[in-house]
Amino acid sequence: MTWHEQARHALERAQATAARVGLLMIDLDWFKRINDNHGHPVGDEVLAKVATVVTKAVRQGDTVGRYGGEEFAALLPGVEEDELRAIAEPIRTRIRALRITAPTGELIPLTVTVGAALHPEIPEPSLDGLVRAADNALYAGKRAGRDRVALASC
């Protein structure tokens, strides 16, 4: 089952119980530079380590997947805004603390920008609407300087 299918099912279950659902969109900052400067094997190592950090940071029952390219998504049913931030911020700081060494011996700094949105506070109460709201927050975080958690404002 794809991430989208799992996320749709999780969102439907949450909507049936009127539970809130959070979504984190996690995007590696400057990932293209890593691939261009250090090669795809190093980029693959970065993606694997980031996936591990994200998977370990979420709760059992949350739905995590690679959304595309250098972007990961985590759907968190039954979460409040403070809990959403309490999961997102450690993801950001743990990824920042990762140490990836290039074949040249150079340490590669890693940062992520995280966009977060909470259902039903979003204007469009659907998975697509939740993704759009989190993605908009993500890009607002990128414009504000990257390496941050940005919550969608509705």
Name the DSSP class of 60: T
How are beta strands 71-77 and 21-28 bridged, if at all? antiparallel
pLDDT score at 105? 94
pLDDT reading at 16 higher than 90: no
| For range 106-119, the mean pLDDT | 96
Q: What is the pLDDT of residue 154?
A: 57
Mean predicted confidence (pLDDT) in 29-54: 96
**Residue 70 annotated as catalytic:** yes
Interval 72-99: pLDDT, tens: 999 999 999 999 999 999 999 999 999 9
pLDDT, tens only, 49-76: 999 999 999 999 999 999 999 999 999 9
Q: Which of 5, 12, 45, 70 is catalytic?
A: 70
Q: Cα Rg for the chain, rounded, in angstroms?
A: 15
Are the C-beta atoms of residues 154 and 22 closer than 8 Å to each other?
A: no
Average pLDDT over residues 116-134: 88
The dihedrals phi and psi of 121, each to the nearest 5 degrees, come to -70, -10
- What class has domain 3-151? alpha beta
Strands 112-119 and 21-28: antiparallel
**Average of pLDDT values for 100-112?**
94
The percentage of residues in the chain with a pLDDT greater than 90, rounded to a whole number, is 79
DSSP 8-class letter at 121: T
Domain boundaries, the chain: 3-151
Residues comprising the chain, all counted: 154
In this prediction the pTM is 0.94
Pick the closest to residue 136 from 118, 117, 121, 119 (CA basis).
Answer: 117
| Per-residue pLDDT, 11 | 87
Residue 27 in this model has a pLDDT that exceeds 60 = yes
